[in-house]
Amino acid sequence: MKIENITFGYDKKKLVLDGVSCAFKKGRVTSIIGPNGCGKSTLLGLCSRLYKPFTGAVLLDGRNVAEYGGKEFAKKAASVYQLNEISGDITVRALVSYGRTPHKKMFELLNDDDEKIVGYAIEKTGLKDFETRRAAELSGGERQRVFLAMALAQEPQILFLDEPTSFLDIYYQLEIMEIVRAVNREKGVTVVMVLHDINQAVKYGDDVLVMKDGRIKAAGEAEKTVTPALIKDVFGVDAELVSRKNGETFFAASL
């Protein structure tokens, strides 16, 4: 996916994104980091067609996303936003099955292949024991996995995740990250995710996109790009590189 010189604001007078250009490489995981309010969710919203840019364009496979039909785009791109509420009696399996909607005609029932894909998504996210439960009664972390499973059932080529681990305890955080990585490695799904934890962003991102004040500050391979100087510049905190081993980087930060 390519983002070409995008400007966008929620009202005409104030631009939230001001001339943003970047690219998310196919088959890789990109972490987006940056301070609160810098435009990360807005950028994801533009990529997933939630918003339309004032100027510039988002290209997927060389084609402006605005030109895709709704279903056609939903077959290619899926999004998981911050914790979503679920109401009603819908079961976990039924909710995950909604992910197949873009692949079906109206009122067309799921076939064996669809059920297999739904089963894979449920298995992958560790929801096997929850299949028949009411989704509304699950814990926050379990619900987050349901939405991830629904996105996986969509079989997207690119997956957008906005703070997929916020509100989760450290176990669920790592679990979600491991699932995302496994799906990327096994299915080649391109992943773009906003994370607040810099160490996780570097650990799970092949690449990072660093934003500040509606602009791109840095972009490139995660381990090379994120340095104490960059962290200081972008977040205004002192960061010390404590260790780097087994593909894990650990920065300790202080004011």
Ligand X SMILES: Nc1ncnc2c1ncn2[C@@H]1O[C@H](COP(=O)(O)OP(=O)(O)OP(=O)(O)O)[C@@H](O)[C@H]1O
- Does 193 bind ligand X (CB under 6 A)? Our answer is no
Residue 226 CA to residue 251 CA, distance in Å, equals 10
Shortest distance (Å) from residue 213 CB to ligand X: 10
Report the residue number, 121 or 194, with the smaller CB distance to ligand X: 194
Site pattern 33..52 for ligand X (x: CB under 6 A): -x-xxxxxxx----------
Furthest CA-CA distance within the chain: 57
Handedness of CA 172, 185, 241, 210 (dihedral sign): negative
- Does 199 bind Mg ion (CB under 5 A)? Our answer is no
Residue 125 CA to residue 226 CA, distance in Å, equals 29
- Does 165 bind ligand X (CB under 6 A)? Our answer is no
Q: Find the distance separating the first CA and the last CA of the chain, reported in whole Å.
A: 36
Residue in the shown chain whose Cβ atom is closest to Mg ion: 41
Q: Which of 1, 3, 6, 16 binds ligand X (CB under 6 A)?
A: 16
Under a CB-based contact definition with an 8 Å cutoff, are residues 166 and 196 in contact?
Answer: yes
C-alpha angle 125/106/143, rounded to 5°?
Answer: 25
Of ligand X, Mg ion, none, which one does residue 10 interact with (CB within 5 to 8 Å by kind)?
ligand X
Report the residue number, 122 or 209, with the smaller CB distance to ligand X: 209
- Does 153 bind ligand X (CB under 6 A)? Our answer is no
Interface residues toward ligand X, by CB under 6 A: 10, 16, 34, 36-42
